[in-house]
Amino acid sequence: MHSSHAYLTHTPDTDQLTQVNELLDEYGQSGHIHQVKQSFTLHLFSEPEVLAKPITRSSDANAIFHALWPGTLDLHESMYVLLLSTANKVISYGCVTVGHLNGTVLNKAAIARLCVLCNAASFVVAHNHPSQSLQPSKADKLATEHLQQIGTLLDIKLLDHLIITSQSGYYSFADEGLL
């Protein structure tokens, strides 16, 4: 599948940066956004087949994640986020963490920042397991709980957290009743 990307340049205003910094303070994250150079660049996924329909089930999100993942599913763990409109259509996406062969660290601040700056109504996250195992670890379950808390705080709903592999299967926390 051939994908094309468009770019949107958006310069966040002072109020948006203040809100993000307050959120970071509340979660005890180190570091702040002190300055944004000229602009904030978002990658917008503009594949017509992908954007034609809203995400209504986990298989829709799985297909999108497989379409945008850069071919590293078997190399190292990473986490991506899809930012959705009120119609559950992808408005933006991003890689929020890159780890190693069997783990990655949840970057809560990056996800919160993207949600706020993109004015997302909801979001879906996915991370991969190079081992091909679809079983969530205790850390995966805890990460999902943290993401739900962030969504609740921001009033931006976490719709699902997927574990994906290079094989055709995936694990959906929503489908399993864990969201």
**Whether the Cβ atoms of residue 111 and residue 150 lie closer than 8 Å to each other:** yes
Instruction: Tell me how crowded residue 129 is: count the other CB atoms within 10 A of its CB.
Output: 22
Q: Give the global pTM.
A: 0.72
Cα separation, 160 vs 59, whole angstroms: 11
Which domains can be identified in the chain, with CATH numbers? 47-172 (3.40.140.10)
Whole-number Å distance between alpha carbons of 78 and 101: 9
Per the rule left: phi > 0, alpha: psi between -120 and 50, beta: everything else, 30 is: beta
CB atoms within 10 A of CB 85: 15
Strand 157-164 relative to strand 122-128, pairing: parallel
The pLDDT value recorded for residue 26 is 56
Identify whether the C-beta of residue 77 lies closer than 8 Å to the C-beta of residue 99.
Answer: yes
- Reading the chain (179 residues) residue by residue, the pLDDT tens digits are 333 333 333 444 556 556 555 655 554 444 444 333 333 334 444 455 655 678 999 999 998 888 877 777 777 888 889 999 999 998 888 888 887 777 778 888 888 988 998 899 999 999 988 888 899 999 999 999 999 999 999 999 999 999 998 886 899 999 999 98
Can you list the positions of beta strands (E) in 11-156? 40-45, 78-84, 90-98, 122-128
End-to-end CA distance of the chain: 31
